[in-house]
Amino acid sequence: MFKRSVWIVAVILLSTLLFAITTAQYKTQINVLIWTEFAKYISDYLPEFEKSTGIKVNLEAAITPDLPKLTKANISSEKSKYDLVTIDEPFIPEFAELLVPFDKWPNGKLYKKPDPKIFAPNAFEASFWNKVFSGMPFNVNIYIWITRKDLLKNPNYAAEFKQKYGYELSVTKTFKELRDTAEFFYNKGIYGFAPFTNINFQGTTAEAIFMFESFGTSPLTVINGKVKVTLDTKIAEEAITFYKELLKFAPPNKMEMAHDERIKVFNEGKVFTMFQWPLFVPQHEDPKTSKVAGNIIYSVPPIGPTKRAAIRGCWVLALPKASKNKEAAAEFAYWLVSKDVQSKLIPKGLIPVRADLLLNPEINKDRPWFRTVFESSRNAVARPRFPGYLEASKIIRENWYAGISGKISSKEAAERMKKELLDLVEKYEKRK
């Protein structure tokens, strides 16, 4: 009798458990707008998510320039084609009013809503606008510095450098050291620095902001809920002039360099140091394509005259307010940032947003730059927070380029940039 009773209780408990699992599952589908690279990362694992949750995920992948266009065309306050969107952080201000603040996101039934404290420093701020967090970061991408280890270990270079400049040759810690080492190695037949200058790329805006922030000025700042032009033209002039000096020690195509050009020349062993987005580091560490694989030191960016700055480039997972399937969409987002899933996506190319993965000793053995990403995040700065980001970026990028290329003086470039930004902000305020 006792055994039969135990058996009956076991059956009841098992039935209850199975019922709970079944009822916890969703029977629905969600539409997700996602960056093409992320779609590649997660596609192999989607069946696993769909089976465990009952949520069918329809991915619509798009390249970076098309994502804000598709978001703008398909999301409004009344309706939304998508239940979850990935937004490049500079575009958060443009869409924030259409997005559910993160503190209002539903709790997951199967995956826990994460505490923002588990993320890399300042990563969650990528979604911040108008006093609220408008989403949740999926990755962390931020400026780190890469330097040739083999050149630093060369005893002849070390001795000559100390004799000329009066201090030890090492990873550049300050802008003065950046300039000195760039000059030194240029005179040894090695480009001292590889810039990002292609006027057609947003990366040139990022480079300008990196320099301005390091020197102590910001083109645009949110003050009391309003965007203000805060560019100090004297400081901006100094930053432009300094960058022009660095360009003396750069490759011949110095005014046309973007991602591909920079990766190529560094991998050929022709550059001493430069900034890099961690997304591209595996290309430098691939011995099949890189002569410097295994000979790179990763560090935080050098400190400027005023502060250390690292440009942040996170992608944000966001829930449109008009979505009819917020619970399922949030469940998918929580799955994407779970430790298990982010771990699986690292070999695919993801820079995880979770601190516990960036600082994991085992992971750091193969990817030492992950720890640098975490440390660099402490000094994260954003590109201009402005609903008309593309217009602001164009003004900054074009005037920066005109100044560093010598087409106009550094002073004129800074003053013209400020005037055009003032006109833009004024027009924006009138359109509101």
Q: What is the domain-level CATH number for residue 187?
A: 3.40.190.10
Q: Is the domain of 323 the same as that of 424?
A: no
Residue 334 pLDDT: 98
- Per-residue pLDDT tens for 378-392? 999 999 999 999 999
pLDDT at position 1, please?
Answer: 46
> Is residue 23's pLDDT more than 80?
no
| 329 in the same domain as 239 | no
pLDDT over 60 at 224, yes or no = yes
Give the model's confidence band at 263: pLDDT under 50 very low, under 70 low, under 90 confident, else very high. very high
Same domain membership, residue 200 and residue 121? no
In this structure, the answer to whether residues 172 and 196 fall within a common structural domain is yes
User: If DSSP codes are grouped into helix, strand and coil, which group holds residue 88?
Assistant: strand
Please check whether residues 74 and 129 belong to one and the same domain.
yes
Domain residues for 208? Answer: 144-311+386-431
pLDDT number for residue 235: 98
Do 234 and 175 belong to one domain?
yes
pLDDT of residue 431: 82
Assess whether pLDDT exceeds 50 at residue 8: no
For 354-372, the pLDDT digits (tens) are 999 999 999 999 999 999 9
Q: pTM for this structure?
A: 0.92
Query: Given this model, what pLDDT does residue 390 score?
Result: 97
pLDDT on residue 25: 80
Tens digits of residue pLDDT in 163-197: 999 999 999 999 999 999 999 999 999 999 999 99
| Whether residue 109 sits in one domain with residue 16 | yes
What is the average pLDDT score of the chain? 94
What b/e sequence results for 66-97 when a residue is b if at least 16 CB atoms lie within 10 Å of its CB, and e otherwise?
ebbeebeebbeeeebbbbbbbbbbbbbbbbbe
Q: Is 221 helix (H, G, I), strand (E, B) or coil?
A: strand
User: CA 279, CA 288: separation in Å to the nearest integer?
Assistant: 18
Domain count, the chain: 2
